[in-house]
Copies of this chain bind each other. A is one copy, B any other.
Amino acid sequence: MQKPEDIVTAWWQRIDAQAWDSAAELLHPDALAEWPHTDERFDASSLVEVNRNYPGTWRVTVDDIIASGDRATSFVRVTDGSETYAAASFWTVREGLVVNLVELWADCGQTPPAGRR
């Protein structure tokens, strides 16, 4: 499993299954991740921990993957049956492991401004 799209698919399968240690095996030891919406940065172990520690049981649906060379992007929705969030993730893979991730999360329940309702 070296292709970026396969690694990204495996990541989301393992997050969906709450298989945190198994997800961690997809990350390069030097991996860096960034969440631009909160200006948070994570290394490999803290990225796994922030997922492991997030409260609730969230099921993941992968809507879209685009891959080229050592890069891939995914668009997923996650839901606990009550709330739904979407995530757009921009991955860089090296030697079959994730070395970089920029990931934007947004709440899907937002109300448009009055003029657009």
Contacts and interface: CB of A to CB of B under 8 A. Distances in A.
A104 interface: yes
Given A104-B104, A104-B106, A86 B37 contact: yes
A24 B85 CA distance: 29
Interface residues of A, number: 31
B108 A86 contact: no
**Number of chain copies forming the complex:** 2
Contacts of A50: 116
22 contacts: A36-B86, A36-B106, A36-B108, A37-B86, A37-B107, A37-B110, A38-B110, A38-B112, A40-B112, A63-B102, A64-B90, A66-B66, A66-B67, A66-B68, A66-B72, A73-B88, A73-B90, A75-B102, A88-B90, A88-B104, A104-B106, A106-B106
